[in-house]
A and B are shown apart, each in its own frame.
Chain A
Amino acid sequence: MPSIHVKRGVFLPLLEGEEELIRKSVSGVLQEYEAAQENLIPILLQVQEMLGYLPGPAMEQIAAALKIPAVDVYGLATFYNQFRLHPPGKHQLKVCMGTACYMVGGRIALECFERRLGIKEGETTPGREFSLERVACVGCCTMAPVVVVDEQVEGKVTPTRVDGILLSFEKPAAPGAEAAGQKGEDAS
């Protein structure tokens, strides 16, 4: 049975001083544009570029300036994949859902990350440690399924590999620690 999960958005609290930063950035961007609805997309894009995502107070401030309901800004921000509603994590996990990766279990990799991190695609873990996204083909289909971890491309990402990737972040990242982490369990 096909199913869709549209759960209530869970939004992380702002960091200290973040609200001030948001207000300033948004005010700056708003000054560059005429307060007209057709400028909503460029405004959102620019705010996102500055802040890394579209926090709630930013959307509210923009809505107020354009005299439209805030839910409209939210509607638009959730319509386009381009927009992020959650802050980027310290580590960014991008799971490839291009055709090749999808066919060989990209979905499984994504679900593994979701389960392990306790978040859904597009979200960020509470400490802003990890953010999880899906991306389209990243150009190395032969290594499918592919996950881009920060800037590093990881191939053949099986569920064990997912565990390995996450484990590698638990200790102060030493090169090669991932492989060790992965094998460590059977060895001991």
Chain B
Amino acid sequence: MSKPATIFIDGRKIDAFEGEKLLWVALRNGIYIPNLCAIRGKEHPSGSCRLCYVQVEGCSEPVTSCTLSVTDSLSVQTRSPQVDRLVKSAFELLLSHHRLGCRDCAKRKSCELLKIAKERGLKMKLTRLALLDQEAEVDDSAETFVFDRSRCVLCGRCVWICREVIKVGALGFSRRGIKRVVTTFQDVSLAQSGCIECGLCVEACPSGALYFKEGKKPAAAGQCSCRGG
């Protein structure tokens, strides 16, 4: 059991444990910090979405809270002009390869991009960047759900669930840089991939990339543990 620590988030005194990642402490205490790629229980956070910045007292640059280990009397601010700028840019980068069209998106009620935008007053449109026109196929081969890559934000939650929780390992990342995608072995369709259609990846997906087909949402939802507490 690790040592207790007392920390301050936006001036609020909070009890935590040393070594915990700040993001989870904040979320647990009802303080929202935007995040997409953080996965509870994942030993090495990928730190790839760059949305979870906070300003640490005594540090000149903001740091990502999903990788920041708590130490006693740590003091952070969730907002600062620097943090806001970084988050704004990271968010626009995400949108630049995300096919918008919230009106017809199956996830519009639970979409975390919309949540982040609302929370931080960010625009759901591109102002400085051009849209990457992705020629992505929609995979509707699975019986219960659809994978629309053009809305994938590469958070990796589905990959982690499929591998670490369900132990199927149908999904993974492939290629790199601008071509990075979530895919299956040799890009086969989900139906051919060994996927057992447990649906947990669909529940874990923060965007409209994975969604259940009409009327196919399983009744017993919410066993997914990646977001935890």
Contact = CB atoms under 8 A, between A and B. Distances in A.
Are A and B genuine complex partners?
yes
Interface of A: 1-9, 11, 56, 59-60, 68-75, 78-79
B134 A71 contact: no
A6 B181 CA distance: 8
Contacts of B193: 71
Contact of B133 (A1, A7, A9, A72): A1
A69 B193 CA distance: 11
Contacts of A78: 174-176
A7 B174 CA distance: 12
Nearest to B149: A6
Contacts of A72: 169, 172
A4 B174 contact: no
Interface string B88-123: 000000000000000000000000000000000000
B170 A79 contact: no
Contact of A79 (B137, B174, B183): B174
Interface string B162-175: 01000011111111
Contact of B185 (A7, A8, A59, A79): A59
Nearest to A68: B169
B132 interface: yes
Nearest to A69: B169
B130 A7 contact: no
A74 B172 contact: yes
A8 B187 contact: yes
A6 B163 contact: no
Contact of A71 (B133, B135, B172, B179): B172
B176 A5 contact: no
B131 interface: yes
30 contacts: A1-B130, A1-B131, A1-B133, A2-B130, A3-B132, A3-B133, A3-B134, A4-B132, A4-B133, A4-B134, A4-B135, A4-B179, A6-B135, A6-B175, A6-B179, A9-B186, A56-B185, A60-B185, A69-B170, A71-B169, A71-B170, A71-B172, A71-B174, A71-B183, A72-B169, A72-B172, A74-B185, A78-B174, A78-B175, A79-B174
B163 A69 contact: yes
A73 B185 CA distance: 8
A7 B135 contact: yes
Nearest to B167: A69
A126 B170 CA distance: 28
A62 to B, nearest CB: 12
Contacts of A7: 135, 137
A-B complex: 3 closest residue pairs judged by Cβ atoms: A69-B169, A71-B172, A3-B133
A70 B169 CA distance: 8
Given A6-B175, A6-B179, A70 B133 contact: no
Contacts of A68: 169
Contacts of B176: 78-79
B132 A69 contact: no
Contacts of A60: 185
B184 interface: yes
- Of the candidates B135, B172, B184, B186, the one having the most CB atoms from chain A within 10 angstroms of its own CB is B186
Contacts of B185: 56, 59-60, 69-71, 73-74
